Amino acid sequence: MTTAYELRCRECGRAYGNQPLSICEDCFSPLEVEFDLERARGRFTREAITAGPLNMWRYKALLPVAEDYVPTTPAGMTPLLSAPRLGARIGAKNLYIKNDAVCLPTLSFKDRVVAVALANAQAFGFDTVGCSSTGNLANAVAAGAARLGLKTYILVPADLEPAKILNTQVYGATLVRIDGNYDHCNRLCSQIAEKYNWGFVNVNLRPYYAEGSKSVGFEIAEQLGWRLPDNVVVPMAGGSLITKIKKAFRELVALGLVADKPVKFFGAQATGCSPISTAVKAGADGIEPQRPNTIARSLAIGNPADGPYAIKAIRESGGWAEDVSDVEIVSAIQELAETEGVFTETAGGVTTAVTARLYAHGRIKPGELTVSCITGNGLKTTDVLNGAYEQAVPVKPKMTEFAAWLDERTGELVEVA
Amino acid sequence: MTTAYELRCRECGRAYGNQPLSICEDCFSPLEVEFDLERARGRFTREAITAGPLNMWRYKALLPVAEDYVPTTPAGMTPLLSAPRLGARIGAKNLYIKNDAVCLPTLSFKDRVVAVALANAQAFGFDTVGCSSTGNLANAVAAGAARLGLKTYILVPADLEPAKILNTQVYGATLVRIDGNYDHCNRLCSQIAEKYNWGFVNVNLRPYYAEGSKSVGFEIAEQLGWRLPDNVVVPMAGGSLITKIKKAFRELVALGLVADKPVKFFGAQATGCSPISTAVKAGADGIEPQRPNTIARSLAIGNPADGPYAIKAIRESGGWAEDVSDVEIVSAIQELAETEGVFTETAGGVTTAVTARLYAHGRIKPGELTVSCITGNGLKTTDVLNGAYEQAVPVKPKMTEFAAWLDERTGELVEVA
């Protein structure tokens, strides 16, 4: 190729240069960005990365933006936390949390993909952008577009969580509530993008957008001291993230930044919307679309665009997929918060509960270096914890009242004096 | 002194070594941590800082923790964003946002002070920690203590925002709702800390806790390329933050990391709780306590512990203080989100509205390098935006329906085909 990267059809390999397009005109398969890795070799080095900014743009040489692109918003570079207290509860001895619950700027991993997509929207000259979204993407697009002064239309299922709706509208984006689920929104966006020539980050800009997820994989490897883990547990909605973490690891190996080794990929879904995990468990290659019915609304994609690729990534790696109930999701949100001080949204509850089950079933061994990917913040889905905690009667601000309250509560003498 | 730092009385100068104590036994003035700057000179260099971790612990040599302290949670190192679009609206040409709305791990600047306080709580051997809080501190203590496995009691005013209550309980902390305001909680905490020998981060650990705020100042200077701004606008609750940013700047100058220059400090309060700004405007040195009545509950401290020191810092710098109405706070939250993609809580609305007024009144000149400190996240105070946005009727997922909706909305033809 003559450029640093270009679009190629994932199936027939036809090259498309760079343009806002996501589907092959010949075989209707999805397009993907492919990099000229030899060309990147001199620029994508440990030294260059370490000297770069303290955010995902340190990996710019393998993100699809112009070489002279100047980022305007820090995004990514979230903590990789060791999780000994959660590990003790679920039988893991070498467990890490990749904590995108605190991803900048809008507290989900979608900030990564949106950062790349909006850079391309600007490069392609779009003055109006948008997306179909289950919430987190809406937040990220609205905030990112506000900062760039772009007009924004965002299509969401009408039943979305209030915090995610507000966290879209506050940035001045036009929110279009669709009388349907995510898959309805998504289909409509394809038509809208074409008719009005808008840049929809997860539709006509999707190949560029998806590359942003590689930054999760790059960060995990760098934060582990330039090595790959044994296992990665990843939540699946459209199925893209898990494939892109795998792609990031492959690119790191190809360019010699990490040693090659087997990495198993494990996918996590809610049972109420589990088309990918169902296929993995059944040994199927294709997706049987589902009608979502789960509190994990950010994962509620019944017909995942990258489902078949996610299945392939999991199976080829020797990994597995699991799905958990809504009750387990809520418990796992609480368990992760209580043990590691990380408050995640429902999707993170899914990942945590699935991680626990994978250890319980012996699919992950206690000592293996395992990274569990938390992708969004608990403040966005507070509704699922409604009623979970007592609202105790207020205590009068007097020492005698407090002491009486404490005695009653603890049933033991904690006084030291 | 024989240690790298120790407690000293701010007024009489009596030295106390290092212990969980916040008030001078002789003159009842507050204690403060003082560093042996000469001793820090070799360790607190630009080179050492740059080579440090990508969080506030890169400034460890001037934070009161043991030299061999190993941090367990990344905190701080939040973006310093240029704010050209907000600037265009308010007449600022060189405005930056220090964005602690995305501070790790619990999305407010309180994560900085808690990180330092809990390190000291552990060093002093406390097995139970706590605080009195208007919300953000509660979240930070609960999350931090969960990760360390400490027992936690948190006292809050009974009328706190639901998101801040949930975001405390989810970490397993015991939340004690007090039938009173913050000042009632705070007084009670002093008695509790003494009676039960608990480590209350903003009571008996307060001098250590407060030093954590210096990291805001260190980061601003480093992110500006090792120089100081002309002006800093800081929200004021207890009044500590503004004095600690000033202290950070002084220490940077003393150790030669930045060139000395005048910096004006501006304080921001809500009119419904404005004891400090009222004193500044009136030319008074002391605080007249107020009974708080504002939606900016994280700033609702009617009798601020560091009020007199905040007044002094502002006045000596040639700065000023302002306060704004609840209506202005909500508008400013929206304006900051729409222009810069930053969604802040009410305290950030206060800072943004005050910043605008300071430009409007000519107290800050358009070209001066000004940093406006945003200290908390908008997802914590969503209640103040209730009813601010229309909940439009859902649109059916059909192109004809969407086109009709769009035509009606825009009243113009946006179709390009």
Task: Find the CB nearest A382 among B166, B197, B342.
Answer: B166
Interchain pair A379, B107: CB under 8 A: yes
| Whether the predicted pLDDT of B35 surpasses 80 | yes
Interchain pair B170, A144: CB under 8 A: no
| Whether the predicted pLDDT of B417 surpasses 70 | no
Interchain pair A415, B158: CB under 8 A: no
Instruction: Write out chain A residues lying below 8 Å of B174, CB-based.
Output: 409
| Whether the predicted pLDDT of A416 surpasses 80 | no
The interface pTM score, or ipTM, of the predicted complex is 0.94
Q: How far apart are alpha carbons A277 and A284 in whole angstroms? A: 10
Q: CB atoms < 10 A from the CB of B291, how many?
A: 11
Interchain pair B105, A172: CB under 8 A: no
Interchain pair A397, B77: CB under 8 A: no
The pLDDT of B15-28, averaged and rounded, is 97
The pLDDT of A242-256, averaged and rounded, is 98
- Name the pTM for this structure: 0.95
Q: What is the pLDDT of residue A271?
A: 98
Instruction: Write out chain A residues lying below 8 Å of B333, CB-based.
Output: 170
What is the sign of the dihedral through the CA atoms of B40, B46, B52 and B56? positive
Whole-number mean pLDDT of chain A? 95
Q: What is the pLDDT of residue A313?
A: 98
CA of A202 vs chain B CAs: smallest distance (Å): 17
| Whether the predicted pLDDT of B403 surpasses 90 | yes
Q: How far apart are alpha carbons A86 and A220 in whole angstroms? A: 19
Instruction: Write out chain A residues lying below 8 Å of B184, CB-based.
Output: 397
| Whether the predicted pLDDT of B314 surpasses 50 | yes
The amino acid sitting at A33 is: V
| Whether the predicted pLDDT of B353 surpasses 90 | yes
| Whether the predicted pLDDT of B416 surpasses 80 | no
Residue spans of beta strands (DSSP E) within A222-369: 231-235, 264-270, 320-324
Nearest CA in chain B to A340: B147
User: What is the percent of chain B where pLDDT is above 70?
Assistant: 98
User: What is the percent of chain B where pLDDT is above 90?
Assistant: 93
CA of A312 vs chain B CAs: smallest distance (Å): 31
Interchain pair B177, A394: CB under 8 A: yes
CA of A333 vs chain B CAs: smallest distance (Å): 8
The backbone torsions φ and ψ at residue A150, rounded to the nearest 5 degrees and listed phi first, read -95, 145
- Contact between B171 and B138 under an 8 Å Cβ cutoff? The reply is no
Segment A156-194, tens digit of pLDDT = 999 888 888 999 999 999 999 999 999 899 999 999 999
Instruction: Write out chain A residues lying below 8 Å of B162, CB-based.
Output: 382
Segment B70-117, tens digit of pLDDT = 998 899 999 999 999 999 999 999 999 999 999 999 999 999 999 999
Instruction: Write out chain A residues lying below 8 Å of B177, CB-based.
Output: 391-395
- pLDDT bin (cut points 50, 70, 90) of residue B412 is low
Interchain pair B341, A54: CB under 8 A: no
The amino acid sitting at B37 is: L
Work out the burial of residue A416: count CB atoms within 10 Å of its CB; fewer than 13 is exposed, 13-18 middle, 19 or more buried. exposed
Instruction: Write out chain B residues lying below 8 Å of A158, CB-based.
Output: 394
Interface test with A, best of B171, B198, B335, B380 (most A CBs within 10 A): B171
Q: What is the pLDDT of residue B391?
A: 80
Task: Find the CB nearest B179 among A106, A158, A395.
Answer: A395
Interchain pair A144, B341: CB under 8 A: yes
- pLDDT bin (cut points 50, 70, 90) of residue B414 is low
Interchain pair B397, A79: CB under 8 A: no
- Contact between A135 and A164 under an 8 Å Cβ cutoff? The reply is yes
Instruction: Write out chain B residues lying below 8 Å of A177, CB-based.
Output: 391-395
CA of A180 vs chain B CAs: smallest distance (Å): 7
Interchain pair A394, B185: CB under 8 A: no
- pLDDT bin (cut points 50, 70, 90) of residue B2 is confident
Nearest CA in chain A to B101: A105
Q: How far apart are alpha carbons B249 and A255 in whole angstroms? A: 43
The pLDDT of B149-161, averaged and rounded, is 93
The pLDDT of A19-39, averaged and rounded, is 97
Interchain pair A343, B197: CB under 8 A: no
Residue for token digits 């003393």? B254
Task: Find the CB nearest A341 among B144, B158, B417.
Answer: B144
CA of A233 vs chain B CAs: smallest distance (Å): 21
Task: Find the CB nearest A341 among B81, B146, B194.
Answer: B146
Segment A107-146, tens digit of pLDDT = 999 999 999 999 999 999 999 999 999 899 999 999 999 9
- pLDDT bin (cut points 50, 70, 90) of residue A417 is very low
Interchain pair B343, A380: CB under 8 A: no
CA of B1 vs chain A CAs: smallest distance (Å): 32
CA of B231 vs chain A CAs: smallest distance (Å): 23
Q: What is the pLDDT of residue B36?
A: 97
Q: How far apart are alpha carbons A71 and A59 in whole angstroms? A: 12
Q: What is the pLDDT of residue A412?
A: 54
The pLDDT of B273-295, averaged and rounded, is 97
Interchain pair A187, B397: CB under 8 A: yes
The pLDDT of A218-224, averaged and rounded, is 98
Work out the burial of residue A410: count CB atoms within 10 Å of its CB; fewer than 13 is exposed, 13-18 middle, 19 or more buried. exposed
Work out the burial of residue A161: count CB atoms within 10 Å of its CB; fewer than 13 is exposed, 13-18 middle, 19 or more buried. buried
User: Which of A14-23, A40-49, A137-146, A391-400 shows the lowest per-residue confidence on average (mean pLDDT)?
Assistant: A391-400
Task: Find the CB nearest B176 among A54, A73, A395.
Answer: A395
Q: How far apart are alpha carbons B70 and A16 in whole angstroms? A: 51
Nearest CA in chain A to B341: A143
Contacts of B85-90 with C-beta under 8 Å, sequence gap 24+, read B85/A147, B85/A149, B85/B339, B85/B340, B86/B335, B86/B336, B86/B339, B86/B340, B86/B352, B88/B339, B89/B335, B89/B339, B89/B356, B90/B355, B90/B356, B90/B359, B90/B360
The pLDDT of B293-316, averaged and rounded, is 96
Nearest CA to B297 among B276, B326, B322, B323?
B326
Segment B376-388, tens digit of pLDDT = 999 999 999 988 9
Task: Find the CB nearest B379 among A340, A379, A414.
Answer: A379
